[in-house]
Structure 1
Amino acid sequence: MLDTSVDFVPTTDPARMLDDPAAARAILRQVLAYLDERAADLDPAAQLDLARRVGLRSGLYAAQFPVEYGGWDMTETLAAELREEAAATGTGYSRVILSSHEGPSRMLLSATPEQRERWLRPLVDGRLTRCLAMTEERGGSDLTRVASSATWSGGKWVLTGRKFLISNAAQADVAIVLVRAVGARVEGPTFFVFGTDTPGWRVVRALPGMDPLYTQYEVELDAIELPEDAVVGGPERVGGAAGVASEWLPFGRICLAARAVGLARWALNVARRHADQRVVFGVRLSEKQYIREFIVRSDIKVEASRALLRKAAAALDAGHLAVREAAMAKLCATEAACEVIDDAMQVLGGRGWLVEYGLERAYREARLLRIVDGTSEMLKETVFHMPPHTGERSY
């Protein structure tokens, strides 16, 4: 459960975000100024904790969720803009201001009213955190190869299997788990939601990676017994995980794309400043054609990524599924972020490799963004096979 105690008080009323996008922008500037003053000397874990608590107090955390569940009905277009702006600070902790993978899941908007009250509302107001357990060691995120199962027996579901590369699994209060339902009238990939204090949920081991703040986990589902109403969306959604995922994954992909654009923009500014100030053999680096090549091509990549991001966010705001648009935005933005940060490192030379300049931290995060919520290769398949217009959401 998150601690929301902090002395931050926004001078702009969060309720104004309902009608005025400028209010949200003003609040974000206040949040970033507050964190810039207070978070710099904290260790990375403490920075994340403070940024999350300030995000909650500011009203920005989960602001894109409906008012009836504690959000502010923020548009995806505005949320993407704010995520980009936060990431453009170059700080790792800025990723949790508007909530991250640990916060509420859009997938729960497909849940029953009872499930929304029980799980979504406390996730939106920060009383709980969650994890999404989809991937498996052999099948990856391929829904057709899910080996974990939910067997209908004796009026209850029994979940067994293992999940791999699950973010926040050891800290989460709520788990949303993908398994294959068997033994019922309808079978197939199905999402379940339940508390991680349910007997049978067991974190097997941590899976540390390039970034210590992005630790993944392996989880065992050891004969977890769940009632019929634990199926996300109710019993009629058994076997319907593919539809639920396609409806809500674009939102997560746009979030990641926005952060990637912000990271790339920050790295480009670092490179520009250094090139303007650094003198080599009596000439500023910015006067050398090959340095200008780094900067110009990076500038174009940032602008192109932002354009695709805005297009995808606008499509979601218009009620479209935006599967193709979100895939294109994430593919372009995350690939570009790695390339822009790498070029910035080259512009800085040996300094670019040093921790104090922040580029190595930004690169580690950007590199992960090319994998989570759909690898670049998977997104290319989506773009190839999806028509330009993907219809409207069902809700």
Structure 2
Amino acid sequence: MTHRPEGPAKAAARYLTEERVGIQKLARDFAMKEVLPVANELDPVQGTIPDRLREQMAEMGFFGLLIPEEHGGLGVGVFEYCLVAEELARAWLSVSGLLARGNGMGGGFTPEQRAEMLPKVARGEYLGAYALSEAEAGSDVANLSCRARRDGDEWVIDGTKMWCTYADQSDYLVLFARTAPDKDPAKPHRGISAFLIEKERGGFPAGITGTKVRKIGYHGWHTWELAFDGFRVPASALLGEEGKGFYLAVSGLEVGRAHTAARAIGLARAALEDSIAYVQQRVQFGRPIGDFQSIRFKIAEMAAEIEAARQLMYSVATEIDLGGCCSGEAAMAKFVASEMAERVTSAAVQIHGGAGYTTDFAVERHWRDARLTRIFEGTSEIQLRVISDEPLGKAP
């Protein structure tokens, strides 16, 4: 008897338990009914994600997916986190990014801080933003120049930060600054510390000023360049051990890259689904263009690429949940999914023809946003560096 390989539905069934299907459906219904109409309305005018969407996400427990039940979260795993991310990204990439303002934060908290703050995070009342990258420290995170010096019972912070998305609307910032007086050229990652900066939602405290970054996509919220000028925080604002902030910064990379892969897959799926609808109603030469083999094969290639990336992401998320170390595989998932997303969304624009190059159809949004997935959470080139380290060893 000839063995038939598993199709996508059968392969997915090995991962998708009844509980996971329920979470996926909840996220899908919310994304399509609530998020997508808002995205279609606000992205073209660079409007801001409404508070009500954030409040609805909190009510459904989305900010507490990775937070233990004892702290008010759902206590599920990275797999479920990625399921929700894919569904939200299918509607609007920016809303899927809101997930990480809750679930992705909290690293370095003391047990007392976790007990106090994580329930508020799970309720969507205490959402954070990262202040890590700088103009000369993007991929080279160890090259930070923002400094924090001790002055009695306070730290005084001076310097600038780039790419701080959601910094204005967050309830706190996690800031990374150099606390060692001098950088060690041999080990520049040493001497970096992390700080918890609590703030009022909607603005910045005295000593911090922000300039909006002019983006071509990822609308719905603002990304900031922040300037710290003699900004003071209490000594207790230090997160974790002094000088060990670099390790805190990189500790969540596997989860972050799986999350980004899921978001890229959601964008690509949006482009595919929009294209399927379009080719069935667009008529040329007296027939729907979906009848032409060139279009059918393009749709088939898009579907195959999406499913291949999804299965890799499922595998990586499962490995993370099992407690395994999979930095190389997480880099592969992020690389494969983000590169795929740009190809698939570009193909969707092509399928739509001239209409795809207008703002009348959402495929241009998917295309713009997909381009970003190759850059944030580590560029594609950084992922290739991580992947190549395993078979070849670390480069000097």
What TM-score, normalized by structure 2, do the two folds share?
A: 0.82
Q: Is the 8 A contact 1:246 1:323 kept in 2?
A: no
SS at match of 1:377: helix
| Cα gap change, 1:149 to 1:326, in 2 (>3 Å) | same
Quote the residue 1:110 is aligned against: 108
Residue deviations 1:285-343 (CA, integer Å, cap 9, x gap): 23333323422221221012102211111111011243222221111111111110110
Cα offset, 1:22, TM superposition: 4.2
Cα offset, 1:74, TM superposition: 1.5
Structure 1 unaligned spans of 5+: 1-17, 389-395
Query: Please, which moves more after superposition, 65-74 or 103-112?
Result: 103-112
Distance 1:386 1:255 in 2: 22
Cα offset, 1:30, TM superposition: 4.8
The within-5 A match list for 1:47-196 is 48-88=50-90, 90-91=91-92, 94-95=95-96, 99-101=98-100, 103-104=101-102, 106-183=104-181, 188-196=191-199
Distance 1:35 1:248 in 2: 30
Distance 2:335 2:36 in 1: 34
Quote the residue 2:20 is aligned against: 21
Cα offset, 1:134, TM superposition: 0.5
Residue deviations 1:221-240 (CA, integer Å, cap 9, x gap): 2223333332222xxx2222
- Pick from 213, 221, 236 the counterpart of residue 229 of structure 1: 236
SS at match of 2:197: strand
Cα offset, 1:107, TM superposition: 4.7
Counterpart residue type for residue 96 of structure 2? R
SS at match of 1:128: coil
Query: Please, which moves more after superposition, 272-281 or 162-171?
Result: 272-281
Q: Is the 8 A contact 1:131 1:176 kept in 2?
A: yes
Q: Is the 8 A contact 1:177 1:192 kept in 2?
A: yes
Q: Is the 8 A contact 1:264 1:341 kept in 2?
A: yes
Cα offset, 1:160, TM superposition: 1.6
Counterpart residue type for residue 74 of structure 2? W
- Pick from 344, 349, 367 the counterpart of residue 345 of structure 1: 349
Quote the residue 1:12 is aligned against: none
Cα offset, 1:65, TM superposition: 1.7
Distance 1:134 1:274 in 2: 41
Q: Is the 8 A contact 1:294 1:344 kept in 2?
A: no
Cα offset, 1:49, TM superposition: 2.7
Cα offset, 1:142, TM superposition: 1.8
Quote the residue 2:300 is aligned against: 296
Distance 2:227 2:35 in 1: 40
Residue deviations 1:158-178 (CA, integer Å, cap 9, x gap): 222111121122222201011
Quote the residue 2:34 is aligned against: 35
Cα offset, 1:360, TM superposition: 1.0
Query: Please, which moves more after superposition, 201-210 or 172-181?
Result: 201-210
SS at match of 1:194: strand
Q: Is the 8 A contact 2:130 2:175 kept in 1?
A: yes
- Pick from 213, 219, 230 the counterpart of residue 226 of structure 2: 219
Quote the residue 2:372 is aligned against: 368
Distance 1:152 1:40 in 2: 45
Distance 1:33 1:381 in 2: 37
Counterpart residue type for residue 290 of structure 1? S
Distance 1:61 1:287 in 2: 43
Counterpart residue type for residue 20 of structure 2? P
| Cα gap change, 1:40 to 1:111, in 2 (>3 Å) | closer
Q: Is the 8 A contact 1:200 1:223 kept in 2?
A: no
Higher relative contact order (CA 8 A, sep 6+): 2
Residue deviations 1:52-104 (CA, integer Å, cap 9, x gap): 2111112233322211222101221122123223333x3456526xx434x22
Distance 1:366 1:41 in 2: 16
Query: Please, which moves more after superposition, 280-289 or 335-344?
Result: 280-289
SS at match of 2:73: coil
2:215 matched to 1:209?
Answer: yes
Q: Name the count of aligned residue pairs.
A: 364
Quote the residue 1:14 is aligned against: none
Q: Is the 8 A contact 1:202 1:220 kept in 2?
A: yes
Q: Percent identity?
A: 28
Cα offset, 1:130, TM superposition: 1.8
| Cα gap change, 1:355 to 1:52, in 2 (>3 Å) | same
Cα offset, 1:258, TM superposition: 0.8
| Cα gap change, 1:191 to 1:117, in 2 (>3 Å) | same
2:305 matched to 1:307?
Answer: no
